[in-house]
Structure 1
Amino acid sequence: MALSVTEESFISGLRNTLVRSRVATQSLDEYYEGAHKLEQLGLQIPPELEAFSVVLNWPRTTVDAIERRLDVQGFRAGDGKPDTGLWDVWQYNNMDERASFAHTDALALARSYVCIGTNDRDRDYPLITVESPYEMIALRDPRTHRVTAALRSYDPEDGSGQDKRITLYMPNYTRWLIRDGSRWVDEFTPDEHNLGSVPVVPLVNRNRATRRLSGSILEGVSEMKDIIPIADSASRALTGAQLLQETMIAPARGVLGATKGDFVDQNGQQLSAWQTYFGAVWALTNKDAKTFQFDAADMKNIETIVNVYARLASGVASLPVEYFGLNTENPPSADGQRAGETRLIKNAERKQTSFGHSWETVNRFVQRFRTGSWDLANTRLETIWRDAGTPTTAQVTDAIVKRYQVGLVDWETAQERIGETPAAIEQMRTRRQSDFEASFTAGVQRFVEEV
């Protein structure tokens, strides 16, 4: 089926925007992976020593510190109860792992995308995939902020950069196209889902109403943006320190009044310059020879400047200074450590609000694919997150037990906070009811026997 004029316009415009954005996306990806090339002024380090550059991957530290506190534990329906059906679809698509991909890319690369599609093998379990912003772009209505079209452009074969396949997402259908000479043709049968809405949901980091580019969702900002120049400066300082290790960390020695013939071994063989320099003992029989020594370079200044950069990074990234390799002489208590992480915790909670809205939209599409109709009750879906302030299971359990004992939370809420899945909570609820009924029956029987 030939492309319509509207489809060709969407494909051309979206691909052009995607190609322009790839330069910045690739640069951010290299920073996250620690694979970027460190830029030098060239005043101290010659080109032949660039291979010895030291890269401090503080950008990855900044991203991972937040991502580790973004754990989805389930979804609560409009009636306030965990939705086990949505959680089954979540588990079917291995979203326990893939949600982390979406969060990491959104934090590091400014945005990521989640696509929902028909599962031909089992329509009760729609497919959910996480896509990279290097391959995907979306367009949305500036009035409603809803996605009106989306495109994935990729090369699954040789990585040459010449995309040979695209997926076009439109409100009522999805088309998979392959390059055939100068035109695009259908590779598979289009998915006529008739949703009336594009099944693509962006996760945008640091979203704002005023940051837009040609209607495309490019307004996200990488969490690494502010930390990158500081990390580069610290890396250059450590690279300079490595050069000093090779050249100036050992005391410089010199000798005056000696000849080449004075430097021989016990067999009278001539010593090389390096053997002479690094010899443990210098003994010269030449009475006119005089030796001297310059002090080794002091590396303390390098440590001082790196520590300054670490503290700057801590302030900019809203992370405790320990995350950047600095330790205090007196380790803080558990309460003190949590207080020091206040800004990090609040930052993670903001991400939970933003990303949670995206996951709720994803699940509305899942329900639509499963039932064939939009359910107005799904507008009240809620994402259940692990507490950002207590990221480990032991910390969560300790906090919830204390709250449960004083009656601040009920049994079911306590199970949710600890991290039990909706299915596991339902099984425990059934068992508790059975145990209660059995206990009640036994109590009645004893009462009857006593009477």
Structure 2
Amino acid sequence: MPPWPPSSRTTGPRTTPQSRRRRTEAGVSELTTNPDRDHLTEMLQLLDGPQPRLHHLERYYRGTSPKLAYLSAEAKRNLAKFEVLSANLCRVAVLALQERLRVSGFTGNNAAWPLWLQSDFDQLSATVHRDALLYGQTYVLVWLDKRGRARATVESPKDVAIQRDPVTREIVSAIKRVQTRTSQQIWIYGPEEIQHWTSDSANSTAYTLQSRTPNPLGVTPIVAIGLDDDDSVISDLLPVQDAATKMATDLMAASEAAGRPQRFASGIEAEESPVLDKDGNDTGETEAVNPLPENSNRTWLAANAQARFGQLSGDRLEGFEAGMRVIMAAAMTVTSLPPSYFGLLQDSVTSADALRAAESALVARAEAKQRAFGTGWETVMRLLIAIDQGIDPYDVSVKVNWSPADTRSEAQLADASVKLYAAGLLSREATLRRLGLTDDEIEDELGRIKRDLVDARDLVLGRYMAGQTDH
């Protein structure tokens, strides 16, 4: 692989004074060519196209969607200033899968796991998985840090877009945009070079090509995590979320009415009150007003002996609970979440076997996501190893290992692992990996086992030399 140019030892190509050119009267750098500008426009369209959908999904995940669905126009006007109660099922659906996606190590190259830790993916990989689940796909940039070391960074699909070859399906170009209050920074990543574009203001569309940096990798350093045709895991849940929000809002509005039942009085004549203008002067007109104080806990009195007072019966709220159960059942259908995720509205699971049976569909979805995300993570590690060792990425072979996605009894898992090891079907390292230990934990544990064996041999030898044993 060709050597890395000095200007590339950053998370993106560094702009140098030598790379800048005098601008022409048209505001376009002399370094810019029409094909480059056309490609920039095309990549910006790829980036801007899905932005409304991404922001729409994010608002549902954050629980801040202002939409009140399944309401009449009059009800929407009456509830315009009402604080909406949102039972955020979308976040639950995403996090339920995210917590089951845990990378435990890599096989095929010993340098993989240290590079994984060097990029802080033991903590940041959860963010990558969350974005991939929420948006359908997310991205990782593999480049050099300021010290010239191989490093991968998490990139949001709101800032990055890719273009694939229609035949090979390889990423042939990618764009990353960083917006500040005063400018825009854009990088176009390709297999051969990386272009850095800037604009003079945050809202300007007049971009100037500032620099070109050779790409020694020979492949685009942006990696997609997730499949191109994967949709968000909450896409089918959005209408169910709207129904749950509407039901919860109706419940709170009804509870307000039930908490303060309506009272009535009959046999009492309305009083007439003068109508005043905006300056407080009598206009000569009158209007009928309620002689009894409204919204008050004071006692009502009436001079008419025939007057009657009463109170309307409060609303019953059992219907809302039944409706919410139907909505939760629909949510379980589209998300594969077991009843235990929905609290007291559903029957509780009383045994470990019943819990595993209830989670079987969720575990299957998590394992499918492991397969979908695994290809991207293996590509990330190939690029990191290629940069770290100065070799061709296609010469690197590495395979990702995942922790089990299902809920297992620790006693049952330990018993099965010990039996497999005793039967000679698994090595000690494979047994530890089956128990869910990471590569670092396995290496430390094997080292401790070796030290214990050495200490045991030293103890036997010491006893023999001291004449404490005949062996």
TM superposition score category, shorter chain reference: 0.7 to 0.9
- CA deviations over 1:74-131 (Å, ceiling 9, x no partner): 11116xxxx3x222222222112221111111111111001100234143xx121111
2:412 and 2:380 map into 1 onto residues whose CA distance is: 31
Indicate conservation of the 8 Å contact 1:67/1:100, yes or no.
Answer: yes
Equivalent in 186, 197, 201 of residue 177 of structure 1: 197
2:368 and 2:181 map into 1 onto residues whose CA distance is: 39
Alignment-derived partner of residue 147 in structure 1: 171
Matched AA of 2:230? G
Alignment-derived partner of residue 240 in structure 2: 230
Indicate conservation of the 8 Å contact 1:56/1:232, yes or no.
Answer: no
Q: Does 1:401 align with 2:422?
A: no
Alignment-derived partner of residue 194 in structure 1: 216
Matched AA of 1:193? N
Indicate conservation of the 8 Å contact 1:58/1:324, yes or no.
Answer: no
The runs of 5 or more residues in structure 1 that have no matched partner are 208-216, 262-269
1:311 and 1:143 map into 2 onto residues whose CA distance is: 43
Identical amino acids, percent of aligned pairs: 25
- CA deviations over 1:179-229 (Å, ceiling 9, x no partner): 24723232xx6543321110111112xx3xxxxxxxxx5x33111000000
Alignment-derived partner of residue 103 in structure 2: 72
Indicate conservation of the 8 Å contact 1:396/1:418, yes or no.
Answer: no
Matched AA of 2:415? K
Matched AA of 1:18? L
After the TM superposition, which residues 208-219 of structure 1 pair with which residues of structure 2 at under 5 Å, given as runs? 217=228, 219=229
2:219 and 2:80 map into 1 onto residues whose CA distance is: 51
Equivalent in 75, 97, 109 of residue 45 of structure 1: 75
Return closer, same or farther for 1:14/1:384 CA change in 2, 3 Å cut-off: same
Alignment-derived partner of residue 384 in structure 1: 401
Indicate conservation of the 8 Å contact 1:113/1:131, yes or no.
Answer: yes
Matched AA of 2:380? V
Indicate conservation of the 8 Å contact 1:387/1:396, yes or no.
Answer: no
Q: Does 1:7 align with 2:51?
A: no
Q: Does 1:332 align with 2:342?
A: no
TM-score, normalised with respect to structure 2: 0.80
**Helix, strand or coil for the counterpart of 1:153?**
strand
Equivalent in 429, 443, 448 of residue 426 of structure 1: 443
Q: Using the TM superposition, give the Cα deviation of residue 283 of structure 1 relative to its aligned residue in structure 2, in angstroms.
A: 6.3
Indicate conservation of the 8 Å contact 1:179/1:185, yes or no.
Answer: no
Indicate conservation of the 8 Å contact 1:55/1:235, yes or no.
Answer: yes
Alignment-derived partner of residue 121 in structure 2: 95
Equivalent in 255, 280, 288 of residue 265 of structure 2: 255
Q: Between 366-375 and 99-108, report the one with greater CA deviation.
A: 366-375
- CA deviations over 1:258-311 (Å, ceiling 9, x no partner): 3579xxxxxxxx973221xx45x6665642111233221222222211110110
User: For the aligned residues, what is the CA RMSD?
Assistant: 2.6
Alignment-derived partner of residue 239 in structure 1: 249
- CA deviations over 1:52-82 (Å, ceiling 9, x no partner): 222221111111110111111211116xxxx
Q: Using the TM superposition, give the Cα deviation of residue 414 of structure 1 relative to its aligned residue in structure 2, in angstroms.
A: 3.3
Q: Using the TM superposition, give the Cα deviation of residue 324 of structure 1 relative to its aligned residue in structure 2, in angstroms.
A: 3.0
Alignment-derived partner of residue 92 in structure 2: 61
Q: Using the TM superposition, give the Cα deviation of residue 344 of structure 1 relative to its aligned residue in structure 2, in angstroms.
A: 0.3
| Count of residues paired in the alignment | 410
Q: Using the TM superposition, give the Cα deviation of residue 233 of structure 1 relative to its aligned residue in structure 2, in angstroms.
A: 1.3
Q: Between 87-96 and 58-67, report the one with greater CA deviation.
A: 87-96
Matched AA of 2:159? E
2:380 and 2:143 map into 1 onto residues whose CA distance is: 11
**Helix, strand or coil for the counterpart of 2:396?**
helix
Return closer, same or farther for 1:396/1:423 CA change in 2, 3 Å cut-off: farther
**Helix, strand or coil for the counterpart of 1:167?**
strand
TM-score, normalised with respect to structure 1: 0.83
Q: Using the TM superposition, give the Cα deviation of residue 349 of structure 1 relative to its aligned residue in structure 2, in angstroms.
A: 0.6
- CA deviations over 1:332-365 (Å, ceiling 9, x no partner): 2121011100000110011111111110110000
1:23 and 1:89 map into 2 onto residues whose CA distance is: 35
Q: Using the TM superposition, give the Cα deviation of residue 21 of structure 1 relative to its aligned residue in structure 2, in angstroms.
A: 1.1
Equivalent in 302, 314, 328 of residue 332 of structure 2: 314
1:303 and 1:375 map into 2 onto residues whose CA distance is: 57
2:393 and 2:165 map into 1 onto residues whose CA distance is: 23
Task: Please say which structure displays the higher CA radius of gyration.
Answer: 2
Return closer, same or farther for 1:398/1:142 CA change in 2, 3 Å cut-off: farther
1:443 and 1:310 map into 2 onto residues whose CA distance is: 65
2:173 and 2:393 map into 1 onto residues whose CA distance is: 23
Return closer, same or farther for 1:230/1:27 CA change in 2, 3 Å cut-off: same
Return closer, same or farther for 1:293/1:424 CA change in 2, 3 Å cut-off: closer
1:371 and 1:9 map into 2 onto residues whose CA distance is: 36
Q: Using the TM superposition, give the Cα deviation of residue 421 of structure 1 relative to its aligned residue in structure 2, in angstroms.
A: 3.5
2:461 and 2:430 map into 1 onto residues whose CA distance is: 31
Return closer, same or farther for 1:442/1:302 CA change in 2, 3 Å cut-off: closer
Q: Does 1:203 align with 2:225?
A: yes
- CA deviations over 1:364-407 (Å, ceiling 9, x no partner): 0001101111266633x2212111103xxxx5743442223212
Indicate conservation of the 8 Å contact 2:115/2:385, yes or no.
Answer: no
**Helix, strand or coil for the counterpart of 1:29?**
helix
